[in-house]
Amino acid sequence: MTSTVHFRVARTPAERADVLRLRDAVYVRDQGRLADAADTAATFDRFDPHADYVLAYAGDEAIGTVKVVPDSDAGLPCEDMVDLGPLRTAGNRLTEFGHLMTLPEVRGRKVGMALMREALVHSVSVHGATHVLGDFFADEETGGLRGFYLEIGFTAVQEPYRDTRFQGAPLSVVGVLDVRAAAARARTAAGADVPLLQYFFHDYAAYADRTAVQAKGHEVAHAPSGTR
């Protein structure tokens, strides 16, 4: 496995097939969360006509993906569980991350973290997102958001719940990130000492300019020390 991973948004039939192969490898064969990769057709996949899948590649091999769903008349996947009305105020634009997964053999190499950053950059630069939502598996000890998400700036939208769409899944919790507030915190003296904030937001001014980042993605190295 090479140390450099490149990213692109799935556009072609072959890239879409890579998404399904990853889902089968992770959710079906590795984790046993789904009986079949097509089991989400009536739930999560109903948003696919206007969603983007960001893929991570090592060479020609797809090793991870994350789904970015911009808000639309169809709403967002997490609205099956929470009311997003309070977030839909003038000037706010929402996206939701979902199905963040990496192959078992690359876990611990920060590919998932890099995918999440790519999803953030894509959300802001392409969709003008001001708030990002995610439906995350909860921390096993606290039942709330995992410390990693809290450190970035996510806050819980509701109490943890059991997601019956996945077999044997732990509790889940929906979190929201105020992107502009997190970017502002990264520029403070205290934020300068938070590696996760710097990783995600050190160049926020550049990717917040929609002309600064191409939707096709770009090559980056793995996340720096201090992230996962």
Query: Mean pLDDT by 10-residue block, N- to C-terminus, for the chain (228 residues)?
Result: 80 95 89 73 80 96 96 92 92 94 92 96 95 90 90 92 71 94 97 95 90 42 33
In 10 A of CB 97, how many CB atoms? Answer: 25
What's the pLDDT at 165? 67
CA atoms within 13 A on the CB side of 173: 20
Looking at residue 40, what is its pLDDT? 72
Three-state secondary structure call for residue 69: strand
> How many other C-beta atoms lie within 10 A of the C-beta of residue 179?
23
- Looking at residue 213, its pLDDT comes to 42
Predicted pLDDT at 215: 41
SS3 content of the chain, % helix, strand, coil (to 5): 35, 25, 40
Instruction: Please tell me the distance from the alpha carbon of residue 83 to that of residue 63, in angstroms, as a whole number.
Output: 34
What stretch of H or E contains 7?
strand 4-9
**Side-chain-side CA neighbours of residue 102 (13 Å):** 18
Is the C-alpha dihedral spanning 107, 11, 50, 151 positive or negative? positive
Contact 217, 54 (CB under 8 A): yes
**What's the residue count for the chain?**
228
Cα(44)–Cα(40) distance, integer angstroms: 6
Least Cα distance to 210 among 93, 118, 97, 124 occurs for 124
* DSSP secondary structure, 113-168, as one string: HHHHHHHHHHHHHHH--SEEEEEEEPPTTTSS--HHHHHHT-EESS--EE-TTSTT
The pLDDT, as a whole number, for residue 187 is 96
Structure confidence at residue 221 (pLDDT): 37
pLDDT at site 42: 65
Give pLDDT, residue 64: 97
Do the beta carbons of residue 43 and residue 67 sit within 8 Å?
Answer: no
